[in-house]
Structures are given as C-alpha cells and as structure tokens.
Structure 1
Amino acid sequence: MTAKARVYSYLRFSDPKQAAGSSAERQLEYAARWAAENGMELDATLTLRDEGLSAYHQRHVKQGALGVFLLAAEEGRIVPGSVLVVEGLDRLSRAEPIQAQAQLAQIVNAGITVVTASDGREYNRERLKAQPMDLVYSLLVMIRAHEESDTKSKRVKAAIRRQCEGWVAGTWRGIIRNGKDPHWTRWEDGRFELVPERVAAIRLAISMYRQGHGAVRTVSALADQGLKMSNNGNVATQIYKMIRSRTLIGEKSLEIDGEEYRLEGYYPALLTEPEFAELQHLAGQRGRRKGRGEIPGLFTGLGISTCGYCGQAVVAQNLMGRARKADGRPQDGHRRLICVGNSHNSGCTVRGSCSVVPVERAIMNYCSDQINLTRLQEGENGSTALAARLAQSRAKASELQSQIDRVMDALLADRDAAPAAFARKARELEALLDAEKSKVQGLEHELAATAGTATPALADAWAQLATGVEQLDYEARTQARQLVADTFSRIMIFHRGFLPTEETRTIGILLIAKHGNTREITVDRRTGEWEASTTISGLPAGDIPVPDSFYQ
C-alpha cells in the first residue's frame, strides 16, 4: 500500500505560558480547514509541539520536534507532497538568516510544502520557481525575526550582566532569572531557602560518594529511605553532575559572552569551602568508585596496583561461578591478582597469578599497627610538597602561555611564514596548556582538601575494618578502599616473590605512600602473615632479576 501525503501542524512557543492562549487552537483549526479545502488528511496522531524551546538558539532543532521532522524529511520518511502548517516562518527559525533559509530549503527540497497560517503563503519548489520574489520575501521575514530575537537577547544579557555586577559589588540582591536553580532550594519571601527533604537526600548522596559507593547503589539507598534529590526522582548520572556543582557552597555561576561570573552566597550553602574542595579532590581521583563486581576491590581499579616485574597494571579476577565456602563466600583461591602484561602477552615474563586474600590481609594488618602507619606516612609535610608541586605546575602553565603568545606574535609579524605550521604548533601548545591547567586545578583542590582535613587515618580506623574486609562485607571493604586510596600512591605486587623462583611460597609487596615513603613486606602466600623484607629498593621494576625458566 502506497503511503499518502498528509498535512502536519507544527507549534512552537519559546515560553510554555504562551501555549495557554488561543493561537494554538487557531492554528490547528486553520490546518484542519486547509487540509479539508485541499482534499488532504490532517495527521492528528503526530504531535509536533515545541514548548519552551528557543528557535533563536536552535534548541527546537537540537532537542525538539522540529529536529525530528527535519530528520524524517531528510531520510524520506515524510511522503513528498505533504504539507507542514506553521503560524509563521519565525516559528520555524529565528537563527541567522542564512541558517534559517537553509532549514526552509531542506524542507522544500524534500518535496514538502510549508504553509504559513498568519498570511496564507505557500512555499514549495514549483511556487518559488514561478515566483522567485517569494524567496526574497521569506528571507526578509527571517532577517526581521533574527534581528528581533538578537536585540532581545542582547537586552536580556545586558540586564543579567548588570545584576551580576551589582551582586559582586554588593549593591544588589535579588533573583537572577538565568539557568536552573538547584532542586534543594526554593524562592520564598525574597530569598532562597533550603528544602529539608531534598537536603537530606543530597547529604546522603554526598556521604555515600565520599565512602566510595557508586551511583547505582546510592540511588537504591535513597529509594529505600524514601528520599528524592529532585521532583523527577533520583537519576544515577545526576549524582556525578551534582557533586561538581558549586551551588553546593551557595555559589551561582553564569557565563555571559565568554565572561564568567561567580555569585558567592547566592544560595544557602550545604558544604563549606574545605568540604567542597575535598569532594572535588575525590571526584578527580581515577578509579575512586568501586567497579561493577559484587565484591569491592581493596586496591585494584584505583590505578595504583602494578606488577613489580614489568610495571603494568595488576587487576582482580573473581571466579564467582565456582564452588563456594559453606557461608557462601568464594574460596580464597578463586579471587586472583593477575598482571595484564602477562595475561595479554604484552611484555611481562613472569607467569602465573596469586590469591588476593593474603595480600589484602597483609595490607590491612600492616596498617592496623600505628607504628607501621606512622613510619609510612612520616617525612615531607604533605601540604608543603603539594604547594611546591602546585607552584611548579603554575610556572609551567605560565611558560606555555608565553610560548603561545610568542608563536602568535611571530605569525602576525611574518605574514609570509607558513601559517599552517604556526597554527599546528599553537594547537599543540594549547593542548599542553589545557592539560597543565587541569593539573593546577586538581592540585588546588587537593591542597585545599589537605588544609581542611585532620591528620591521615589512624591505625584503629584500619583495625576496625579488618574483620569486615576479611568477611567480604560491602560497607567495610568500600571504606577500606577509601583508606587505601588516601594512603598509597602505588602498591607493587611481586606475585612470585621479590626474587622469583618456581617454588616460592611468598608474595612481595612494595608499598609506596602518598609522600613517597616505601615499605617492603614479604607475605606468606597461604596465611597472609607478613614480615619486613630484606630491602631490595633501588632496583627499578625492570631490573629485578628474573630466572630464565619464567621466560615464555
């Protein structure tokens, strides 16, 4: 059966309140009458409505019904000869005239007629070919529509800019209607107030994030307690966006024509500056959230566990499908540590793997002794070291900016120079500068977090979690994972011992603390009992002697 051409009606309102008027009813009546008079059928099943979507910013195309219609027309799913009824051409677009006319041309070239209800004009290939001045008229309408929206946009931006400058100067306090306000606030009696039930949900989500829980588990916990972060409920991705938002410290951020305004104290704050800095430090740490498995890894997945023989990553492999212990836990030997360099045949020459259980047991017991933990953490003051690294990174960023400036000056001074080479060099330097700026921001957050927190976790914090870690308790292991991430910059695993042999009964572990201190322990691969090893430090990972029998 051949599909028939139909009449479609498209409605768009930049402000949803406009839909409450009678213009929508008038247009639908017009579309129905036009269809009847021309012997066509109005498609009442396909609703083309974009309420609250701007045609000036093209949101109705990027995320609205018009974008869907344009795609359908481009793919030939709208039968040629069909008709699209709109109130006026400004409903289709208020973008720059050349872009607006391109969208009209896209519809017309698909064999679709555009009918404007406001003046009864029809735009299709045959009519525009017969009356070219209609094309000129459409362009004039689009120019006027764009200028109106552009003028309004500039006035609105100027007003918002004045409000922002007044807020920063302390001469104006009021609501700035730009962007969305956080769901945990509401405007009451001339000021923002916190919504208690929303605040409870946000605080629980932040607390679970700090403990290392993933978004899915957090959403489940919120549901169990009947808490909602917003009127739309709880969305996992919303959590990661929320923890990055400076609205948590009461700040509203706006950008107007490339200029950023930060309005401090605009909202009631949920977190202090040090608490927010600590949260950003956690958010910036790779692998801080636990993986998908039912057993949170103690140190794998954090980007810190490496093979002592080749320096590549050590990962966990849980063989959950095999026979378990009487209490339902997997057998110790079914939870393994494997070097990806060996498993993927990418350079590691030491075959085999080891159980993760003795390694976890040794690390927990080692850190549960305050003397061991103090020796591991003592040394260069953390804040001093961070400040030095921050200064170095800022200096490097400044030098990169100077290099970019010199490249641009040279390009402007020598018009005969190869512009492509200069541009390529400028892009390379800009990429390096962006990376260095990101590093500076991360160090600033880490320094602020260090300044706002007490001393590193004491040994009793480890000791209290040791039993839960052994019993595979989810909460205990998640908290212990955070302690590991806070304490160590790297954990190197020598699964056949520091000096590997076929018959070795030990596992070597090199613990490298955040401040650079190292401790080497030898672990019984069966019991997990450990002892301080005879030092072999000073040998890079690749220089540790490996017997020929381990080469593949």
Structure 2
Amino acid sequence: MARAFSYLRFSRPEQRKGDSLRRQTEAAREYADRHNLALDDFSFRDLGHSAYRGSHAEIGGLSQFLAAIDTGHVKPGDYLLIENFDRLSRQVLDEAFDLLRTICNKGISVVTLQDGNIYDKESLSRNFASLMWALFAFARAHDESAVKSDRLLSTWHNKRKDMRVKPLTGKLPGWLRLSAEKQITVIEDRAEVVKEIFTRYVEGQSPRTIVNRLNQNNVECWGIGKQKSKKWNSSYIQKILDNESVIGRFTPHKIMFEGIKKTRVPLETVNDYFPVIIDAETFNRVQEVRTRNKLGRRKATGGLTNAFSMLFRCPVCGSWLVRVNKNSKSNWQYLVCGAAKAGYRDADSGYRLCPGGYKAVRYDVVEQAFVDAVLCGRFISSTGSALEAVEAAIEAQRKRREESLRRSTNLTNAIAEGALKGSSPVIKDLEKYSLEVVGPADDDLQIVGKVEHWTVAEELELLASAIKGAEIAIERLELDREALKPRTVDIKLRELKMAVCGPEIDRQKINMLLQALCDSSELNADTKEMTFNLRHADKPVVVVW
C-alpha cells in the first residue's frame, strides 16, 4: 500500500479558531481512504505561517517534508496531499513552480484535494494541461497575496501620513492613553512619576535608588494583566530614561523583507507626536550621563563621599584613585591608588599590584583647591573647536548613511525588477569599497574580485549594517553636540558653582557634572597638579594645590 503525507497550512494564527485546520485534515483522510493510501500519522504543518515569501520551505513544516525526502523517510512513490496549490506556495511563479517540480522530480506525487488532480514528474513533462493549470494556480495565489500585501502597505502608509491627526496605533507609553475621541492624553499621576524619575536621576540617584523609593512609597506599577509587574525594577526605569516619547518624539518603523529575513527599519522621527512630559534640555542631560555610563564609566550612586570618584587614575598602573581613611586620630582622608591599596603587604615585599607604590594625597587639600578654582572662575564656558569637530563628524556620518542607503535602494530596486537576485555575484573591492554587479546568477559563473563568493544579499546586509552604524554614530554625536553648546555648558558650570558653595559640598552632584564636562582628568602627586580636560574647551584647566 502506497503511503501518503498531508501538509496543512494557514497564514494567520487566528485561523486556528476557524475551520481551516479541520477542513484540510478531513479532506486528506477522506482522500487516503477513498484511494487506498496509508495516511501517515504525522502530518507536516505550518500553522499561522505565510507562504508568500517562502520561509515555510526553508525553516517551516514544509522544509521538514523536503528534509524527509532527502533522508529517505519519504520515498519515491509516496504522495503529498495538499488542499490546493496556494497551501504549497504563494511565492513568485518561477519559485513556486520550481518547488513543485523539485518534489515531483524526486518521485513524489502531489495531490490537490480540492479538485483531486495528481501532479508527478511525468504529468508536468508530458501533460500540457496539467502544466498550465499548475502555473495558473501558482500565479493566481501569488497575485492574491501581492494584492493583500500592497493593500496592507497602502493602509499603513496612509496611517503614517495622517498620524498627526489620528494616532498610528493604540499602543502607547505607560503614562499616556487613548481617549474616547481617539486622541492621546496624559495620565497625570503617572506623568508626575516620570518627572520624578528624571529629576532624581539628574540629581545623581541611580535607577536602583529610584526603584527603592518608588517601591517604599507603594507607587503602583503600570501595565495590564500579565504585563503588569508587582514591583518597580531598574530595567524599566532605564527604559523610561531612554524613551524619546517623554519629549514628544515618535519613530515609526516598517517591516522590510530580504528573502525570509524580516527586519524592522526605522522611518523618519516625528516630533510633537506625543504630549511633552520632560523638557528637551533635561532629557539630553540624562542621555549624556547614560551614554557615559554605558561606555563603562561610574553609574550614579547614593551617598557619594569622593567628588573625584572614577575621575583620576594612577599614572603608573591606570587603576582608579580611591578615597581612604588613613589617620583615625585626625580623621584625615587620602586619595590613593586602588591597586596599591589592595596589593600592599609590607615594606619588604613591596606593592604587589602597583609598582608605583602607596602614594597618598590629602583629599581635603585637593578638594579645597578644586573648590577655590571653581569659585574664582577657572572653569570657563568658552567653546573651542570641539563643537565644530562634532558638527563635521555628524555631517560625515550623514553622508556615509545616505551613500549606503542609495546603494542599498539601487540593489533592492534591481531585485524587485528581476534584474538581480540575492544570489547574484558581485565584485567586492575592500580597499575602495566599490561594488560592481557581474551579471545574472548562474551556477557555472565564476566569482571575481578580491572577496570570493560575495553576493548581492551579502552586500545588502553589509550596507544595512553600515546604515545602522551611521545612525547610531549620529545619535551619539548629536548628544555630544547638545552637550557642547554654550548654553548647555553655562548651565552645567552654574550648577557646578552652586554645588561647591552651599553649606555642604554636594560631592555627588560635582562628580556627575565633572563626568559630563570632562573628556579626561589627571592628578599628579609629584607636581601637585590636577588637570581637567574639558570637552568644550581647547585648553585644559590646571589646578595646583
């Protein structure tokens, strides 16, 4: 008795609730009983999986059937039962027919249950009517999906075009909601929580400290159902701090396909889409601090006692200078090399971790010299060439992005027009980064160029990475530009002066401001000098004690 295997597929997950699965299953069973076929208990399935782009044949249930043919589990003479051809494929005509022909050429007969027709190697080669009907069915299936895809794209295009009048989606940040009139409105008590989070972070509190305060005050978490957490957590605080929605900005995305690979591509950012909760100046200030933290610098903590924490390094071993209590009677504190402190044994064995030795500098003397320098105006706001350099770097990255985008668009259009395929080989010159298309893909075509086996698909992937890299660089540089603007620098320097002239020195605020103002800082115990290399100025500030 010949064996039969059923292949069941529908496109949308919600079709599980409908009749599609039952209908296809019963049709396969009835056909097998009627034609005396042994229906295998295992059916190959792609439930909620589209056949429009061919992913089902590469990573889905159909790929398992093709693998079963190659391994010999499915043998020549066996049958594949499908409801109709649009279950097998909705790809472009040549790819869909190649899939059918591949299965039939391996001795498998394909049955379309809706009309009872059987397709095998011989019928596709000799029966012109069967061939034409298969081609017609595949063409119709692809056209139907293409029309649906175009309609969906058009719908989202119109939504994006009208999103200033009507919100693009009802999915909103936790402090906003959609009114009955379909307008985005602010949940006032939650907006106050957002403002508190930003204010406390600017003051130097860490996300963990902010979380503890919110949980201690029993501030209700946001979310619905299973998405609602019982307690606030640091990761959510960080997401809020990084979310441009607080300043009204929204970046819509669109889905792009390269073969079966799906990528979310950001579109042009829309300003004033959301109600503004945090002013841009505060938001940029927070991003500046967070960017430096992500690059490995000190995160804000509570109760900081060393205004120069993670600012000065040991000139010998590069370890951070730390504040220690050395004389319990006089209660004096000192700055010492952290490695030397950890590795000190005794006078004979020396200093295990730092060959420079345990050199101590009076902390109160250094701090007072710094305070005096701030109060007498040594830290100035005149902007040097740094701002011009950042603006030039932004322009260079924009040109890089535009060039990569132009080349990517040209290749994508060529694929869409049928002039190229993803497998088409290209000449790749790494030194000049030039690209030349060799011609249509061909199994016998030899790859030429400095990089062997380089294809259009690989070039598109490289260009996508270049575009993404340029966008990330631009985002960071724009933060740097905002930080270097004279008005921003003036605000920081005023805050620095306020931090040192109060009844008590605000060491935590001083540290955060110095992290933002300085590219680097040095302390030389031999010459008794501190050097602060300000990001905005051409000349450093040298403080002698």
The one-letter code sitting in structure 1 at the alignment partner of 2:143 is E
Q: Quote the offset at 1:485 in angstroms.
A: 1.7
Normalised to the residue count of structure 2, the TM-score between the two structures is 0.57
For the residue of structure 2 that corresponds to 1:491, the secondary structure is strand
Alignment of 1:78-477 (within 5 A): 79-80=73-74, 87-91=83-87, 93-100=89-96, 118-119=114-115, 137-166=133-162, 173-176=165-168, 181-182=172-173, 184-189=175-180, 190-194=182-186, 227-228=221-222, 232-233=227-228, 244-254=242-252, 260-285=267-292, 287=294, 308=315, 314=319, 335-336=338-339, 352=355, 362=363, 366=367, 370-374=371-375, 378-382=379-383, 387-393=387-393, 424-425=432-433, 441-448=475-482, 451=487, 454-456=491-493, 457-458=495-496, 461=499
8 Å CA contact 1:377–1:513 kept in 2: the answer is no
Q: Distance in 1 between matches of 2:17 and 2:541?
A: 72
Check whether the contact 2:428–2:434 (CA below 8 A) recurs between aligned residues. Answer: no
Q: 1:117 to 1:211 in 2, by over 3 A?
A: farther
Shift of 1:438: 5.6
SS of match in other structure, 1:512: strand
Contact 1:489/1:514 (CA < 8 Å) preserved in 2? yes
Distance 1:99 1:403, change over 3 A: closer
Q: Which amino acid aligns with 1:267?
A: F
Q: Which digits, 9 at most, give the CA deviation of each residue in 1:337-370, with x for residues without a partner? A: 79xxxxxxxxxxx9526679x68x8499628964
Q: Which amino acid aligns with 1:269?
A: V
Cα distance in 1 for partners of 2:128, 2:51 equals 26
- Post-superposition shift, 1:490? 0.6
Query: CA separation in 2, counterparts of 1:512 and 1:485?
Result: 11
* Cα shift at 1:308: 3.7
Deviation at 1:443, TM superposition (A): 3.9
Q: Does 1:13 align with 2:11?
A: yes
In 2 relative to 1, CA 222–401 (structure 1 residues): closer, same or farther, beyond 3 Å? closer
- CA apart distance, 1:87: 4.9
Question: Could you say which structure has the greater relative contact order, defined with CA pairs below 8 angstroms and 6 or more residues apart?
Answer: 1
One-letter code of the match for 2:221?
L
CA contact (8 A) 1:370 1:458 kept: no
CA distance in 2 between counterparts of 1:274 and 1:305 reads 28
Distance 1:106 1:465 in 2: 83
- C-alpha contact 2:31 2:113 (8 A) present in aligned 1: no
Residues 250 and 268, structure 1, Cα contact 8 Å, conserved in 2 = yes
Using the TM superposition, give the Cα deviation of residue 174 of structure 1 relative to its aligned residue in structure 2, in angstroms. 1.9
Tell me the matched-pair count: 450
In structure 2, distance between residues paired with 1:59 and 1:207: 48
CA 1:121–1:452 in structure 2 vs 1: closer, same or farther (change >3 Å)? farther
* Contact 1:87–1:117 under 8 Å retained in 2: yes
1:411 is matched with which residue? none
2:512 to 482, 496, 511: 482
Identity %: 17
How much has 1:17 moved relative to structure 2? 4.4
In structure 1, stretches of 5+ residues that fail to align are: 318-331, 339-349, 408-417, 470-475, 500-506, 522-531, 534-552
User: Cα–Cα, structure 1 residues 376 and 227, in superposed 2: closer, same or farther, change >3 Å?
Assistant: farther
Please tell me whether the aligned partners of residues 94 and 100 of structure 1 are also in contact (alpha carbons under 8 angstroms): yes
Q: d(CA) in 1 for partners of 2:201 and 2:107?
A: 54
CA RMSD of the aligned region, Å?
A: 6.2
* Structure-1 residue corresponding to 2:41: 42
On the 8 A contact 1:493/1:509 being kept in 2, the answer is yes
Q: Is the 8 A contact 1:186 1:194 kept in 2?
A: yes
**Residues 1:77 and 1:218: Cα distance change in structure 2 (over 3 Å):** farther
Q: Is the alpha carbon distance of 1:10 and 1:354 closer, same or farther for their aligned partners in structure 2, counting shifts above 3 Å?
A: farther
1:110 positional shift: 9.5
Residues of 2 paired with 1:100 and 1:120: CA distance?
A: 20
Distance apart, 1:272 and its partner CA: 3.1
Matches of 1:106 and 1:291 in 2, distance apart? 60
CA shift for structure 1 position 489 = 1.3
d(CA) in 2 for partners of 1:301 and 1:61? 57
Q: Which residue of 1 aligns with 2:326?
A: none
Letter of the 1:80 counterpart? V
Report the equivalent of 1:324. none
CA-CA distance at 1:125 after TM superposition: 7.5
Deviations 1:288-335 (A, max 9, x none): 566899999989998x7666469xx64699xxxxxxxxxxxxxx9995
Q: 1:35 offset after TM fit, Å?
A: 6.9
Aligned residue for 1:26? 23
Query: Using the alignment, how far apart are the partners of 1:432 and 1:239 within structure 2?
Result: 30
The CA distance in 2 between the partners of 1:355 and 1:142, in whole Å, is 80
Aligned partner of residue 47 in structure 2, secondary structure: strand
Q: Which whole-Å CA distance do the structure 2 matches of 1:520 and 1:253 have between them?
A: 44
CA contact (8 A) 2:404 2:466 kept: no
